[in-house]
């Protein structure tokens, strides 16, 4: 029996992943994609790239680690090839695409991918972010650039310094827009978008979609197409999630034992505070692990060096705050540890998204204490699944640091004799003070005070207790008055 179209539609066959070479892309871009080792597209790329090539605004919602950067950078580079030219004049290379990212690390990573995809073209790209000197960025901007990747704060600095002109921007990308709103970039975004032409193509990509993000899209996107490859806030199915009930004192020992038992060579350990991350990194370093810390108090140069060392495999543990929770693409990262349960439930999705990327498997371990009950309830509500806490038994358990013994178990120990306290030498004794008191003999001299009393002249008719006036005029050269005579 011949199959009808209706019956064929009723029994769909799962299609194989789409290949990049099936897209209407220039040979230069296809060559760069092949050089990167990519043959097939991820679901978000397969859905978003054709829509972006058509010139439509897009709201892309996909779980982290699914290739959002390529989903917007490759089609935008394709659309900008019409402006490609080998001229050295800055005027021939105005800014035509603007990509805004919330963190320096994410901006730098997006810039690396854009540069990788555009390496066979004459399109120029540059990244600007805070924490480093503006002079090299200013020189690169004034030399002319088609693709500008920036964090909002540093971009406003360059706009106010008149280092870049955005009146020819045709494409705008808001990457990780929810994070930009979380850290208070909404006023900066509104200022930046006010400098751009009204006629433009705007793409908004994020791992999570909140009501605030939807209101932002309604304000700045024109008839956008919603592209979703997974339920919002859903975690990747390739990530094994474990929630372990521990005490604060056992957290570090649990991390070390899991690393040992599973032969994990590299991992990211997330903490909630900058001070806690710095202390934890030093503790792991004392345990013999090659460790690097990544937090907001580090300079940008230190943060980039730590990331590069981790990507090259020179560091075993990257202990970080949530500055590393988004956008970091580390190939084949086997595990992520939540040393502290995140304050924001959405950050949990982003943290564990650092592992299990691009279809690979990964492990996400969250260490939970009794005080984390409310935070765990928020995570359960967000990911819509019941979380069961697993116990964990440490193999080399040690007795408590201060363990009191029972009186019958105490063993008398020979204590060293106490040292004698230091005493200064006694002064030599005067034998005069050791003699008993002896009364003065009769007829001896009167005391000194009696002598003075007897020697003092007493005026006639005055009490002996009234002191006479002192004769001080002689001190100033005056003649002494004659003594009064008795009549």
Distances in Å between the Cα of 145 and the Cα atoms of 20, 85, 206, 471 are: 26, 12, 26, 103
Q: Position of tokens 């204490």? A: 369
HEC states along 382-449?
HHCCCCCCECCCCCCCCCCCCCCCCHHHCCCCCCCCCCCCCCCCCCCCCHHHHCCCCCCCCCCCCCHH
CA distance linking residue 287 with residue 465, whole number of Å: 89
Residue 8 confidence (pLDDT) above 60: no
The whole-number pLDDT of residue 462 equals 58
Question: For residue 374, what are its two tokens?
Answer: 């409310």
**Nearest CA among 204, 169, 178 for reference residue 58:** 204
Distances in Å between the Cα of 151 and the Cα atoms of 328, 341, 374, 412 are: 15, 27, 33, 68
**Nearest CA among 140, 117, 116 for reference residue 128:** 140
**Which of residues 12 and 365 earns the better pLDDT score?**
365
Least confident span in 182-186, 204-208, 345-349, 446-450: 446-450
Q: How far is CA 11 from the centre of its chain?
A: 50
Share of the chain above pLDDT 90, in %: 38
CA distance linking residue 159 with residue 426, whole number of Å: 82
0.85 exceeded by the pTM?
A: no
87 located within any domain: yes
The dihedral of CA 208, 210, 215, 216: what is its sign? negative
**Which of residues 429 and 144 earns the better pLDDT score?**
144
Average pLDDT over residues 103-123: 91
CATH code for position 22: 3.40.50.300
Same domain membership, residue 191 and residue 83: yes
478 located within any domain: no
CA distance linking residue 226 with residue 56, whole number of Å: 11
CA distance linking residue 324 with residue 318, whole number of Å: 9
Same domain membership, residue 246 and residue 207: no
2 located within any domain: no
Average pLDDT over residues 285-304: 84
Last residue of one domain, picked from the residues 383, 401, 433 = 383
171 located within any domain: yes
324 located within any domain: yes
Residue 344 confidence (pLDDT) above 80: yes
Residue 77 confidence (pLDDT) above 60: yes
Average pLDDT over residues 147-165: 94
**Nearest CA among 246, 272, 276 for reference residue 258:** 246
Question: For residue 328, what are its two tokens?
Answer: 């970091």
Same domain membership, residue 185 and residue 105: yes
Residue 357 confidence (pLDDT) above 60: yes
Residue 473 confidence (pLDDT) above 60: no
Average confidence score pLDDT of the chain? 81
Same domain membership, residue 221 and residue 321: no
Same domain membership, residue 224 and residue 246: no
**Nearest CA among 93, 38, 27, 99 for reference residue 69:** 99
**Which of residues 77 and 299 earns the better pLDDT score?**
77
Same domain membership, residue 216 and residue 262: no
Q: What are the residues facing 471 on neighbouring strands?
A: none
Last residue of one domain, picked from the residues 351, 367, 383 = 383
113 located within any domain: yes
Same domain membership, residue 62 and residue 132: yes
Average pLDDT over residues 4-12: 41
**Which of residues 416 and 486 earns the better pLDDT score?**
416
What pLDDT band is residue 16 in, cutting at 50, 70 and 90? low
Least confident span in 190-204, 279-293, 394-408: 394-408
Least confident span in 47-56, 129-138, 240-249, 293-302: 293-302
Last residue of one domain, picked from the residues 228, 253, 283 = 228
The whole-number pLDDT of residue 13 equals 42
Same domain membership, residue 300 and residue 161: no
Question: For residue 295, what are its two tokens?
Answer: 């937090």
**Nearest CA among 147, 144, 143 for reference residue 98:** 147
Same domain membership, residue 198 and residue 266: no
Domain range holding 366? 239-383
**Nearest CA among 53, 95, 96 for reference residue 71:** 53
User: What is the total count of domains within the chain?
Assistant: 2
Same domain membership, residue 267 and residue 371: yes
265 located within any domain: yes
114 located within any domain: yes
How many residues make up the chain in this entry?
487
Same domain membership, residue 243 and residue 221: no
Q: How many CB atoms lie within 10 A of CB 141?
A: 21
Same domain membership, residue 182 and residue 267: no
């Amino acid at each position: 029996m011949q199959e009808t179209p209706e019956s064929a539609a009723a029994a769909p066959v799962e299609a194989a992943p789409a290949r990049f070479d099936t897209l209407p892309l220039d040979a230069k871009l296809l060559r760069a994609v092949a050089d990167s080792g990519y043959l097939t597209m991820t679901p978000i790329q397969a859905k978003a790239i054709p829509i972006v090539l058509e010139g439509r605004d897009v709201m892309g919602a996909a779980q982290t680690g699914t290739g959002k950067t390529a989903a917007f950078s490759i089609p935008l580079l394709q659309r900008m090839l019409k402006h490609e030219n080998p001229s050295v004049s800055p005027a021939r290379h105005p800014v035509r695409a603007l990509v805004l990212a919330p963190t320096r690390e994410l901006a730098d990573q997006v810039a690396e991918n854009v540069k990788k995809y555009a390496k066979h073209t004459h399109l120029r790209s540059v990244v600007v972010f805070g924490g480093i000197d503006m002079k090299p960025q200013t020189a690169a901007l004034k030399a002319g650039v088609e693709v500008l990747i920036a964090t909002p704060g540093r971009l406003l600095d360059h706009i106010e310094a008149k280092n870049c002109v955005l009146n020819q921007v045709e494409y705008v990308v808001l990457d990780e827009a929810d994070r930009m709103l979380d850290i208070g970039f909404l006023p900066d975004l509104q200022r930046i978008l006010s400098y751009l032409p009204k006629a433009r193509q705007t793409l908004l990509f994020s791992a999570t979609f909140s009501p605030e993000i939807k209101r932002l899209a309604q304000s700045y996107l024109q008839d956008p197409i919603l592209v979703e490859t997974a339920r919002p806030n859903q975690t990747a199915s390739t990530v094994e999630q474990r929630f372990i009930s521990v005490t604060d004192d056992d957290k570090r020992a649990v991390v070390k034992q899991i690393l040992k038992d599973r032969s994990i060579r590299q991992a990211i350990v997330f903490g909630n505070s900058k001070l806690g991350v710095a202390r934890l990194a030093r503790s792991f370093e004392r345990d013999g692990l090659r460790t690097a810390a990544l937090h907001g108090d580090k300079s940008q140069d230190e943060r980039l060096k730590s990331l590069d060392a981790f990507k090259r495999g020179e560091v075993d543990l990257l202990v970080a705050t949530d500055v590393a929770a988004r956008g970091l693409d580390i190939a084949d990262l086997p595990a992520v540890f939540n040393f502290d349960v995140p304050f924001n439930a959405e950050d949990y999705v982003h943290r564990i998204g650092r592992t299990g990327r691009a279809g690979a498997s990964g492990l996400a371990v969250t260490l939970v204490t009794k005080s984390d009950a409310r935070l765990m309830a928020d995570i359960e509500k967000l990911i819509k699944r019941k979380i069961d806490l697993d116990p964990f038994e440490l193999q080399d358990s040690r007795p408590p640091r201060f363990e009191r013994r029972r009186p019958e178990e105490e063993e008398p120990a020979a204590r060293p004799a106490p040292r004698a306290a230091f005493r200064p030498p006694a002064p030599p004794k005067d034998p005069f003070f050791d003699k008993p008191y002896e009364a003065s003999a009769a007829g001896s001299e009167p005391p000194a005070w009696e002598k003075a009393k007897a020697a003092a002249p007493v005026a006639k008719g005055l009490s002996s207790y009234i002191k006479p006036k002192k004769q001080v005029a002689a001190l100033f050269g005056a003649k002494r008055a004659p003594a009064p005579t008795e009549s």
